Amino acid sequence: MKKIIGAIVGGIIIFAWQFLTWGPLNLHKAQQQYTSKQDSILAYLGTQFSEDGAYMLPTFAPGTSKDVMEKEMKAMEGKPWAQVMYHKSMPGMNAMFMNMGRSFLVDFVVVLLLCWLLGKITSPSFGTIFMGSVGTGLIVFLNAPYMLHIWFGSYDLNAHLIDALVSWGVTGLWLGWWLRRAKR
């Protein structure tokens, strides 16, 4: 039961930080820049894409031979490129609430897994629990945002690092207190 309570509160901490960083603090603004041309760009994309999807521009047509790929890669060097995540329809508020619920559920499960792992350590100290939590945040950061940045050059990498350190650090403070308190 103590691990479940630890995971619920830890999930709330991470969820609350995600709300703050993507909302009021707007740390990820570099990845969501505004352009006054958004209406014309969206209208044009609507004429080019027949369905929802993620598109890498430029890329190769299916079945392109290795020789042609190498030649085209050389020709692409130094030229513009883009990734487009296209959706024909913006979801409504109900979808947002579902996404928020799923997000909290994921936060809860990840912290529960961390609590389970920490529970395998015989008498972990506050520092061990705290560093285990921060280490988990760094694993999350390195495996997803940083790895994607290596290949696709994101603009909010520092915000993701701050997210990992702050949310998992505060969660580590909570778990370090709670899990040790619960053992006494």
For the question of whether the overall pTM of this predicted structure is more than 0.95, the answer is no
Q: Does residue 39 form part of some domain?
A: no
Q: Does residue 15 form part of some domain?
A: yes
| Domain, as residue range, for 174 | 2-34+91-183
Q: Does residue 64 form part of some domain?
A: no
Q: How many distinct structural domains can be found in the chain?
A: 1
How far is 26 from 31, CA to CA, in rounded Å? 10
Q: Does residue 137 form part of some domain?
A: yes
The two structure tokens encoding residue 7: 């995971």
Per-residue tens of pLDDT for the chain, all 184 residues:
899 999 999 999 999 999 999 999 999 999 999 999 999 999 999 999 999 999 999 999 999 999 999 999 999 999 999 999 999 999 988 899 999 999 999 999 999 999 999 999 999 999 999 999 999 999 999 999 999 999 999 999 999 999 999 999 999 999 999 999 855 5
Beta-strand (E) ranges in 27-172?
A: 53-57, 82-86
Q: Does residue 59 form part of some domain?
A: no
Q: What is the mean pLDDT of the chain?
A: 94
Q: Does residue 113 form part of some domain?
A: yes
Q: Does residue 46 form part of some domain?
A: no
The two structure tokens encoding residue 104: 């909290």
Task: Give bridge partners of residue 85 from the DSSP assignment.
Answer: 54
How far is 126 from 175, CA to CA, in rounded Å? 8
Q: CB-side exposure of 38: number of CA atoms within 13 Å?
A: 6
